[in-house]
Amino acid sequence: MDKRRWLALLLVVLMGISLLSGCSPAEKSYYSLMSEVRTQTVYEDSGSYTIEVSALPAGMFTGQDSPSASTLINALSQIRIEYKGKVDMKQQVYQYDYVILEGRTRAEVGAFSIAYKNGIMYIKIDQLMNLIKELGTPVERENLDRIFTGVEWVSLSDQDMAGLAPESQAGITSQLLSNFSGQQLLIKKLLDGLVNDVYNDYSTSLIAQSGNKYTMTLRGSDLMDVFKSGAIYTINNIDKLSQSLKNFLNSLTPAEAAQLGLTADARLQALQILDEMVLEVKQDSQSAIREIEGMSAASEAEMLRAINDSEFVSSVEKTGTNNYKVTARVHLNLSDPDNPRDRLLAAFTAEQNINAGAAVQVIAPAGAVSVTELQSRMPRKMTVNIDTGDYSSSNGLFSNSGRLSVQMVDGRTYLPLRMVGESLGETVGWDQDAHQAYVLQNGQRINMTGTIVNSRTYIKMGDFEQMGFSVGWNDHTRTVTVTK
């Protein structure tokens, strides 16, 4: 592992921890109160999100299908989303209702809701689909009508996900609340160790207190100083950092490790990497510190020209015995130092009000259409480059990409029947007695004749039409598209 790699690992840890930790009373109280908010399990929740965009980089508008700058900026100029929700993590229920408003007039332009009960997630999408259709092309509107006409609520169960997800995404489930709750507690456990045992003598001076309110302000002009001090502190305390991370990893039960997506091998590898990191940091720590301290004024000035007056402000306040208010504002003014007119100028604001301990009741909506039913209405498509074998496929809600083998026989292109067919949701079989490949549709066999290479059946591109697919060819990109 070279210096760049371990320094990158350090900075990943640093940038999150340095903004949450510190030894001053205000910093400790900020972290403690933020942890108190994030570990509530039963609460009512309300708030808003606001997006304001004034300028976008010119690079976003290259390509034939790209929207114009004025169109996209106008669409994003002011959007406000207001919400109300209620959560009971112990009972595994929640419900959130969202309203999308035009920022200037506050006129409602769309709405949607999400609910979860008895292991099933429900999503109210009718108004949201109307908004999406208004922004789409005639062809896109026609496709959406074919799929979503008459659909108000969509239901999504774990069984749905297990049946729909491809093998590579088999771990996806709708139990997001349960997973999120467990992950929150584990992240708190990790941060507690880092804040209390590693960064207990570190201060950013970014947090100010006013009564029960704590505000963290990070300006673009402060970023380099925060980076330098945090990086040097981390290097000087690499033993403490490594030990805290190792203590956390070793304390995880198998169930907790699974919640974080850590296999036994991955955990062992992480522990080994930590040991390697400590050795390499210590071996080269003083030169790394000198390199950080010696960053030139020119480099700092160039960075400041890129981030300008960008700023991040976050606050947390305890407004009552069981009441909290959390806000965040990100102001982005990013530009290319070599071309200052090519810039991103935008702001994002979030506000959350929490009433903890409130009784929560969620009623499952009636008449929901299962995502399995929606999946059956969605188009299935695979595009293959016949020269390289690179492909991308979509089967309703899921997409995949990779590379397959393409055969050329007498100047004709042959594609692997099983791989293409099964990627698009077909059932492909092999009759050993007849030495015949087939596709099973509605209980009926469709025999497929092709050529066999390495025990695999390949069929001509056009033969996919026998299964009800349409086949298109793009001579410019050298790709074939199979669609149903």
User: What is the spatial distance between Cα 416 and Cα 394, in angstroms, rounded to a whole number?
Assistant: 17
In Å, what is the CA distance from 176 to each residue of 37, 56, 120, 181, 222? 19, 33, 10, 8, 37
Joined tokens for residue 246? 């190792």
At residue 376, the pLDDT reads 81
Q: What pLDDT, on the 0 to 100 scale, is given for residue 3?
A: 43
Per-residue pLDDT at 240 exceeds 80: yes
Angle between helices 126-135 and 138-148 (to 10 degrees): 160
For residue 462, the 8-state DSSP code is: G
- In angstroms, the CA 382 to CA 399 distance is 9
**pLDDT tens digits along 332-370:** 998 887 776 788 899 999 999 999 987 889 999 999 999
Residues sharing a CB contact under 8 Å with residue 139, sequence separation 6 or more, in sequence order: none
Q: Using CA atoms, how far apart are residues 115 and 124, in angstroms rounded to an integer?
A: 9
pLDDT single digits (tens) 438-455: 999 999 999 999 999 999
Query: pLDDT category, 59, cuts 50, 70, 90?
Result: low
Give the pLDDT band (50/70/90) at residue 5: very low
Range with the lowest mean pLDDT among 29-38, 70-79, 443-452?
70-79
State the Cα–Cα distance between residues 170 and 177, nearest whole angstrom: 18
Please, which pLDDT band fits residue 73 given cuts at 50, 70 and 90?
A: confident
Mean pLDDT of the chain: 85
Of all residues in the chain, the percent with pLDDT exceeding 70 is 87
Report CA 315 to chain centroid distance, whole Å: 24
- pLDDT over 90 for what percent of the chain? 44
Q: What is the pTM of this model?
A: 0.73
| Residue 165 confidence class, pLDDT cut points 50, 70, 90 | low
Q: Tell me the mean pLDDT in the region 128-150.
A: 85
Report the pLDDT value the prediction gives residue 465, as an integer from 0 to 100. Answer: 94
